[in-house]
Amino acid sequence: MFMKQSIIACVLVLSTALKAQVPIIDYGFLADDPSVLVNSVLVQPDGKILVGGVFTNYAGSGLDHLVRLNTDGSLDPAFNPGGPGPGNGVADMVLMNDGRILICGNFLTYNGMSSSFVARLNADGSLDTSFNVPPNSINGAVLAIAQHVENKVLIGGEFFTCGGHSSPHIARFNTDGSLDSTFVVGTGFDWNVHDILVLPDLRVVVGGQFVQYQGTPSGHIALLAANGALDTSMDNDPGLVATGGIVRSLARQPDGRILAGGYFQYHNGVVRSAVERLNMDGTHDLSFTSPLYAYSMVRALAVQPDGRIVVGGEFTGNEYVNMQPGPARLVRLMADGSADPDFMIGVGIGPGTDPTGFVQTVFVQPDGKILVGGHFETVDTETQYHQLVRLHGSMVNGVEVATADPGCRVWYDGDGSVWLRTDHHNTDAAMVELYDPTGRLLHTQPLHPVLGTQRLRAPSSPGLYMVSVVDAGFRTTARVVLE
């Protein structure tokens, strides 16, 4: 029984133009604002979350560009205690099989110690000094990193020399940080590398701005043998093509097919845009069609265990094919590339005051929840999520509020009952849904076909809840506070 108070309930009927809870958001996770940009997120085996990017003095901790969060989004003070972390931005991270952490970016120090563009950390965030890339060894930012054979470290980026040797935009280090001369780059790539994907057989898929590797045409994507030689079994001539084209993100499906996301309009002369799926021989997968417009930009890809694909970038809600609007900057695709109707994130990710907002990274947790990072200030109607948010991913959580409806009202009477009044509904199949503050569906019940007031089954705990009436594909939603 809840205590009676003079003001017991607060009720709002909402539309997409007004503030509303968005049940696809995991409200059990709220991080302090990483002030500028999140480039990479990882989840350690204990569920704690590594966040790397461009931010300083995170939550007053003195930590710069790399932090670890608890599962609820609060800062974990046990990570790298007493040290500031990287001296500049972190671009990419990978969790090694033994729990250590590889990071790369545009930094020259870690905790004040020399660490040029690449570092290996212990699981607690301290610098692993047994791996050291000497100062001035790399002459440009490192944008991608991966663990390779025998714990060797693959990197790609803007650089073209390493350790005094020519390594155009890709290189491999031994476990002590010395350059691995057995990884034969030759003339390498003719422009920057943005992502590296190591396959189970240790071959390497590389994506970026380049159009050649070792003098062979490779339009923004290339397959390398484990020793760095070009693997010509994947034909990427001309590959993915656009003026100013780029592949920013790669992902591998469990069946071995390769997803590439970026900015391109053609694949091997055929119109393909923003996200493409390839067979291992480089041919287009005929069962996949991108839903995005030709000039869209994709920055992040992640594959869920059920085969659905989470896609993030800087595309707007109007950059979908056939003039069909969709969510901005984040969408989930079915296996055939069509937009997943169960991923209801409303208008999507919003830039806030900066028109250049984008999603930079997506990570699917083992429990199916989805971490989304980048440079943004809104998630549908919510404004408290800046640069980092966690979404539900394994169930239908989104409630898309279509129109404000003054004929729908929900209130709590203080005696343990929640009441709903609707002035109209269209079908006998109308249903009422009740969601808790985390977006979890608590229960459903039919809407009584007789006009008037209806009693709903009340939750057992106080808090903010959302009641949604679903009728013939339309939805009206209201919030109610139980005290």
Instruction: List, for residues 261-311, the tens digit of each pLDDT value.
Output: 999 999 999 999 999 999 999 999 999 999 999 999 999 999 998 899 999
Contacts of 481 by beta carbon, 8 Å cutoff, 6+ apart: 9, 10, 412, 463, 464, 465
Residue 178 has pLDDT above 50, yes or no: yes
Render pLDDT for 38-89 as a digit per residue (tens, 0 to 9): 999 999 999 999 999 999 999 999 999 999 999 999 999 999 988 999 999 9
| Residue indicated by tokens 């640069």 | 387
**Of 152, 151, 173, 174, which is closest to residue 162 (Cα–Cα)?**
173
The tally of CA atoms less than 13 A away on the side-chain side of residue 218 is 28
- Using alpha carbons only, give the angle 147, 178, 149 rounded to the nearest 5 degrees: 30
Six-digit token string for 332? 């989930």
Is the separation of the CB atoms in 8 and 419 below 8 Å?
Answer: no
The tally of CA atoms less than 13 A away on the side-chain side of residue 82 is 3
DSSP 336: T
Residue ranges of domains in the chain: 11-16+401-482, 37-391
Render pLDDT for 335-378 as a digit per residue (tens, 0 to 9): 999 999 888 788 999 998 888 899 999 999 998 999 999 999 99
Is the separation of the CB atoms in 90 and 53 below 8 Å?
Answer: yes
CATH fold group of domain 11-16+401-482: Immunoglobulin-like (2.60.40)
The helix (H) or strand (E) run that includes residue 380 is none
pLDDT of the residue at 447: 81
Q: Residue 438 — left, alpha, or beta (φ > 0 → left; ψ -120 to 50 → alpha)?
A: alpha
**Cα separations in angstroms, 223 against 104, 226, 234, 365:** 22, 10, 6, 28
Residue 453 has pLDDT above 90, yes or no: no
Q: If pLDDT is split at 50, 70 and 90, which confidence band does 1 have?
A: very low
For 37-391, CATH gives 2.130.10.10
pLDDT of the residue at 55: 97
Burial of 477 (0-12, 13-18, 19+ CB in 10 A): buried
**Cα separations in angstroms, 212 against 207, 218, 237, 263:** 11, 5, 9, 17
pLDDT of the residue at 474: 66
pLDDT of the residue at 431: 83
pLDDT of the residue at 88: 97
Contacts of 129 by beta carbon, 8 Å cutoff, 6+ apart: 113
Q: d(Cα 432, Cα 439) in Å, to the nearest integer? A: 15
- What φ, ψ does residue 323 adopt, rounded to 5°? 60, 25
Contacts of 446 by beta carbon, 8 Å cutoff, 6+ apart: 429, 430, 431, 432
Is the separation of the CB atoms in 86 and 103 below 8 Å?
Answer: yes
Q: d(Cα 410, Cα 56) in Å, to the nearest integer? A: 44
Six-digit token string for 241? 């093509």
| Residue indicated by tokens 């110690």 | 113
- Mapped onto helix, strand or coil, the DSSP state of residue 372 is strand
474-482 and 298-303 as β-strands: parallel, antiparallel, unpaired? unpaired
| Residue indicated by tokens 């790298």 | 80
Q: d(Cα 97, Cα 288) in Å, to the nearest integer? A: 32
Cβ atoms within 10 Å, residue 462: 12
Q: d(Cα 193, Cα 158) in Å, to the nearest integer? A: 7
Q: What is the pTM of this model?
A: 0.79
424 or 186, greater pLDDT: 186
Secondary structure string (H, E, C) spanning 22-44: CCCECCCCCCCCCCCEEEEEEEC
- Mapped onto helix, strand or coil, the DSSP state of residue 184 is coil
Q: d(Cα 129, Cα 302) in Å, to the nearest integer? A: 32
